[in-house]
Every structure is written in structure tokens, then in C-alpha cells.
Amino acid sequence: MIAPYYQEDGITIYNARCEDILPELRGAFSCVLTDPPYGISHPTDYHDRGRDALAKCKNYAPVFGDDHPFDPLPWTEYPCVLFGANYYADKLPISSGWIVWDKERPEDLDQSTAELAWSNYVKGVRVFRYLWNGMLRDGDDVLVHPTQKPVALMEWIINLKWTPSGPILDP
């Protein structure tokens, strides 16, 4: 049995590989909602690459595990939402349940104007519009991760009528 690293206020954090702990968590969560490493070796050196022409930005540590292909299959046996699924869609079962996060960015940017998440429980394609363009963004989220998602997006997904109620696993 793997002991929790942190446990307070209904939140439990394990410091372990998600593949190793998943068997121990069976039945302890209602769905998986996660933004896994996509296996694309996403560059996180924003400042060094000159991405701060309009506003100061910083470098982040590389995303752990992003240098290896992501295998979504262990997660698809549970109700789940998997971000970045366009990078590994060939490994996923067919589903009509996709979430589109429209970042409301200008179309002429060299960055994505939207992100996709695959789901095996959401019915149809759903769109969440929320400005997220460098220093121009809705909400007051403090950026701490290079592929961070806004809290409002996660709340929206959790409150969709199809999302099972109960504990959510974010491996």
C-alpha cells in the first residue's frame, strides 16, 4: 500500500507513478480529469526563446514525462476527460465527447487558439470560451505551470450534467 504524501480538506496527494497507484485507487474516484504529459517534449523555455516581446515571461522546468509517448488506455476504462488528446487520438477509442477550450486568442498567433480534450462520458462536442493569452486572460489565476489550465475551465467540466459526482482523480 502506498501511503499518501498529503491528506487534508478532502484532498489526497500521492507521490508515486500514476500507473503504480491506479490499482490501489480503484473505486475511490468517480472520474478522471487530467492534463497528462502528451509525449511531445513541449518547450518550456519561453523567456530564452524570446516569447516576452509584449510582456515579461519566464522559463519553466520541463514537463515531467513529456519526453515519452503517453498511453491513455489505462484511463479509458473509467469516466474520463483527457486534455491534449489530439496528440494521441490514434490510441483512443472513438468518442463523440470532445471538449474544446476556445482561448479567444487572435487567429494570427503562432500558438494554438484552442485546446482539445477527449471524453468517454461527455455527450457531443462542448465548447468553453475563456480568454487565455499570456498576460491577457480572464480570471485571476496565477501561472505556475507551462501548460496550466484555468480553474474556471475545470469547474465548468466538473459541473457538466454528465460528469459523475464524487471524488475526481487527476494523475
Instruction: Kindly report, residue by residue over 78-113, the tens digit of the pLDDT.
Output: 999 999 999 999 999 999 999 999 999 988 877 789
CA 52 – CA 54 distance, rounded (Å): 6
Which amino acid is present at 61? A
Burial of 157 (C-beta count, 10 Å sphere; 0-12/13-18/19+): buried
CA 65 – CA 37 distance, rounded (Å): 6
Let me know if residue 162 belongs to a domain.
yes
Let me know if residue 59 belongs to a domain.
yes
Let me know if residue 28 belongs to a domain.
yes
Half-sphere exposure of 36 (CA within 13 A, CB side): 28
Please state the domain count of the chain. 1
Let me know if residue 52 belongs to a domain.
yes
171 or 113: which leads in pLDDT: 113
CA distances for 96 relative to 120, 125, 153, 164, angstroms: 8, 7, 20, 18
What's CA 137's distance to the chain center, in Å? Answer: 18
Host domain of residue 90: 6-169
Let me know if residue 11 belongs to a domain.
yes
Let me know if residue 1 belongs to a domain.
no
Instruction: Kindly report, residue by residue over 13-47, the tens digit of the pLDDT.
Output: 888 777 788 888 888 899 999 998 877 777 778 78
Nearest to 42 by CA among 132, 147, 156: 147
